[in-house]
Amino acid sequence: MGKILRFFVKYGAALIASVYLFTIGFFKSRNRDLISAIAAHFGFGKTRMNKQPQTLPQVTAQELIPESPAVRLKEPSWADGNVSLQELIVINQLVRKHRPNCVFEMGTFDGRTTLNMALNLEEGGRIFTLDLPSEEISKVSLPIDSGDSKHILKPESGARFKGRVEGSQITQLFGDTARFDFSPYEGRVDFVFIDAAHSLEYVLNDSRIALKLLKGGKGVILWHDYGTFDGVTEALNRLSTEPGPFRGVRRIRETSLAYLSLD
């Protein structure tokens, strides 16, 4: 009985908040972002997908990881905003192959990928994972994709690794990748995973930061959502044609992962 009563109290509070949201609350930009997230939840106003040509050269996971190392896997169930199960296995295999001591992840979301990378690190390995707090969605420095709002406005960042033993290998950080002070991590990282905001501006920003994070300019950069979000696709297409290290970026076939290894 008490549980039902508590639900109706929450229901009443949500109903009152909804009236505010769709009337005078509409004039605040943060509330407009929440309205967009609600629309996306019900299948409306989703980001325009697959409009950019996919020009990156492709490589199969088997070509990249011919030894196919066994991996540890937890939280296999998928939620909107996660990598697919196949992509999760490939990411874990790449971690096993490259044996990074330090991983930096941009975009924690619910922590499913973070947890699994931690499971497959060598002993003593560490992951730093950076996420934008939901209350800062209206203060971002660069444009975000319309599909990003619902993933930023989540109940808890990193929920899937909270309270687990593997969480001791994970340091959770909060901030906007366009403003965050990365200087303590520059030149310390072996493996960067980019899955934060999906706009062109943010992917370009995050990719260039990733190069600065790599130890001696060597290591792995991995991106998610190539061919799924226009901003990611356009950014990587553009970077891959510029002189310099990004010319080696390849799309991993049958996934939305893009991969760069710098030796």
The pairing of beta strand 102-106 with beta strand 191-194: parallel
- Mean pLDDT computed over 109-119: 98
Alpha helices in the chain (DSSP H): 2-21, 29-41, 61-64, 85-98, 112-119, 149-152, 200-213, 230-241
- Residues 9, 106: one domain? no
- Mean pLDDT computed over 25-36: 53
- In a domain, residue 246? The reply is yes
* % the chain with pLDDT above 70: 84
Total domains, the chain: 2
pLDDT for position 127: 98
In whole angstroms, what is the distance from residue 235 CA to residue 136 CA? 24
The distance from CA 152 to its chain's CA centroid, rounded to whole angstroms, is 10
- Residues 76, 180: one domain? yes
- In a domain, residue 102? The reply is yes
Q: Over the stretch 198-215, which tens digit does the pLDDT of each residue have?
A: 999 999 999 999 999 999
- Mean pLDDT computed over 36-40: 50
In whole angstroms, what is the distance from residue 158 CA to residue 127 CA? 12
Q: Over the stretch 162-196, which tens digit does the pLDDT of each residue have?
A: 999 999 999 999 999 999 999 999 999 999 999 99
Q: Position of tokens 């409009």?
A: 51
- Residues 33, 122: one domain? no
Q: Which residues pair with 262 in a beta bridge?
A: 219
- Mean pLDDT computed over 85-95: 98
- In a domain, residue 65? The reply is yes
- Residues 16, 131: one domain? no
- Residues 28, 131: one domain? no
Q: Position of tokens 């366009």?
A: 178
9 falls in which pLDDT band (50, 70, 90)?
low
- Residues 15, 137: one domain? no
Residues 6+ apart with CB under 8 A from 117: 91, 92, 95, 103, 105, 127, 193
Whether the per-residue pLDDT at 48 is higher than 90: the answer is no
CATH number at residue 99: 3.40.50.150
DSSP calls for 100-160? -SEEEEE--TTSHHHHHHHHTSPTT-EEEEEE--GGGGGG-SS---TTTHHHHS-S-TTTT
pLDDT for position 42: 47
Whether the per-residue pLDDT at 3 is higher than 60: the answer is no
- Residues 110, 69: one domain? yes
- In a domain, residue 131? The reply is yes
- Residues 181, 250: one domain? yes
- In a domain, residue 51? The reply is no
**Residue 202's domain spans which residues?**
58-262
Residues 6+ apart with CB under 8 A from 228: 49, 50, 256
pLDDT for position 22: 78
Whether the per-residue pLDDT at 40 is higher than 60: the answer is no
User: Is residue 168 a contact partner of residue 104, using CB atoms and an 8 Å limit?
Assistant: no
Whether the per-residue pLDDT at 220 is higher than 50: the answer is yes
- In a domain, residue 100? The reply is yes
- Residues 97, 166: one domain? yes
- Residues 213, 88: one domain? yes
Whether the per-residue pLDDT at 30 is higher than 50: the answer is no
Q: Over the stretch 12-24, which tens digit does the pLDDT of each residue have?
A: 666 786 777 678 7
- Residues 90, 37: one domain? no
- In a domain, residue 53? The reply is no
pLDDT for position 18: 75
pLDDT for position 46: 43
Q: Over the stretch 118-172, which tens digit does the pLDDT of each residue have?
A: 999 999 999 999 999 999 999 999 999 999 999 999 999 999 999 999 999 999 9
- Residues 25, 88: one domain? no
- In a domain, residue 147? The reply is yes
Q: Which residues pair with 194 in a beta bridge?
A: 106, 223
